[in-house]
Amino acid sequence: MPKRVFDSTRTSWFLLGAVMMCLIAFNGYLAVSSIKELSSTQISLTNTGDTITKLNNLHLSVLSAESGQRGYLLTNDELYLEPYQDALKQVRAQLVEVKTIQSEMPEQQHRINEIIRLSEAKIAELTETVELARQDKEMLALRLLRTDRGQNIYMELRGLFDVVGQTEKSYRENLFVRLSKGRDDALLNFILSGVLSSVLVVLMLFLSFINVRKERKYLDVLEMQNENLAIKVEERTQELRLYSEELSRSNRELEDFAFVASHDLQEPLRKIQAFGDRLESSFSQDLGEKGLDYLKRMRNAANRMSLLINDLLDFSRINTRGRDFADTNLNDVVNDALDDLEIAMQESGAQVNTSTLPVIQADNSQLHQLFLNLLSNAIKFRKPDTAPVISITVASHEPNIMQQAICDNWYHIEFKDNGIGFAEEYAEKIFTPFQRLHGRSEYKGTGIGLAVCRRIVERHRGLIYATGEPGTGATFILILPADATPFGSKGD
């Protein structure tokens, strides 16, 4: 029941959060749209005001230039030339500014281009008449003036100025109306957003109140369940404690039995081997070829039995007879294992390539046995007429949650060879005691070496697994912690 309550509460909060996010996104969209609209309208107002100002300035400058021209032509007084020339400079400068105008109305842009053309024509007419007068051709200049050509240009130009000005002013009034409407819409949007936000806040408070009531309602139920669970845990803990004590006693008895059994079994085996040696040395000629063959088989079986007993004894004592963990340099472990395999390596021509290995907390003797087993297997299970090549590499391993509880730093160590390999279906079976993939005549061994390797790795709280392919070699992967305690030291 509490779980359903929590799920319902989580769903309610999720839906409310989704609504709030949608509202925030919608408010943001409205705000951005309003800002864009107001900004666009403001830019348009600025442009139309700038257009009106530039055209008015150009109109005044044209009038000033024309006044100076007429004054000079009628009076022939040089004093009129100075304001004429100043106005003419202003007209040319203002024409450059007017040419930069980009009206938002296509018909206005056409009129502005026509104003530019007429203004340039007016400048040409003013300049022509003034230059004739300055060349003492006053009569010709006055004749040109009386043709009303300049007057017609100005009248057409003034008409365009009026039309453009009235159009821009009308457009500006529309922009002011749109700006006012945009501000009103933005204010309305903000008010609606505030109201909706307030409603959501009230809804959140109401939902919180309901959730608090539900939590209080089921708090007693949860506390009762916790008490019952604590009682069950205590009962189970007591059962596990008794089971652990019984298991420890059974392990001690099993260890004692293994020791006694191995001792009792080794004694008759040693006698079989000793008497077999005496038979061979004293009566080999009397036994004949067939007798010697029987004797050889007997001695080989006794030797295998002795190796099997020793391997089983080692297998059973991995957890009970292991040493405390200490700083162990894996490079030294590899070098010691290679020293033990020196003869086998020389006979097979094996080559071992190893990278720099780390120092970890481990049982040095057990890791020596682990590395020795893996290296000897790589040498033993080689392809005919092919020298073994073994590579040992190390890399960091990203631990999972369970591994992080043991240690933060883990290593991924690979033993890779170019031997006969194995089918992938046997990747797990090869770690089972007495599991053999080949007959004794092909490869010697008891079939318990990799089982010992797994027990050693598990005592170090690590993992071991293998991959392979027939004819291409095998790879054994070790996942080991840098700093850990032996499995079983904390009641595992």
pLDDT string in tens for the chain (492-residue length):
445 544 566 676 677 677 767 777 776 776 677 777 777 777 777 777 777 787 788 777 777 777 776 776 667 766 767 777 777 788 788 788 877 777 777 787 888 788 888 878 777 777 777 777 667 666 666 666 666 676 777 777 777 778 777 887 777 778 777 777 777 777 777 787 777 777 777 777 777 777 777 777 777 777 888 888 888 888 887 877 777 667 666 656 656 666 665 666 666 777 777 777 777 777 777 777 777 777 777 777 777 676 666 666 666 556 556 677 889 999 999 999 999 888 888 988 999 999 999 999 998 888 988 898 899 888 888 888 888 999 999 999 998 888 888 889 999 999 999 988 888 887 888 887 655 555 454 555 556 778 888 888 988 889 999 998 888 889 999 999 998 887 765 545
Output the six-digit token pair for 437. Answer: 């993939």
User: For residue 441, what pLDDT is reported?
Assistant: 46
- Chain Cα centroid distance, residue 104: 49
Neighbours of 454 (CB within 10 A): 20
**Amino acid (1-letter code) at residue 456:** I
Closest alpha carbon to 423 in 478, 386, 471 = 471
User: For residue 103, what pLDDT is reported?
Assistant: 74
Measure CA of the first residue to CA of the last residue in the chain; give whole Å.
35
Phi, psi values for residue 102, rounded to 5°: -120, 95
DSSP state of 259: H
H/E run at residue 454: helix 449-459
DSSP strand pairing (389-397 vs 351-354): parallel
- 149 burial level (CB within 10 Å; 0-12, 13-18, 19+): middle
- What is the rounded distance in angstroms from the CA atom of residue 348 to the CA atom of residue 342? 10
Contact 487, 459 (CB under 8 A): yes
3-state SS assignment for residue 416: strand
DSSP state of 350: -
DSSP state of 462: -
Integer angstrom CA distances of residue 296 from 32, 45, 268, 284, 300 = 97, 114, 17, 11, 6
**Amino acid (1-letter code) at residue 36:** K
Output the six-digit token pair for 119. Answer: 């203004």
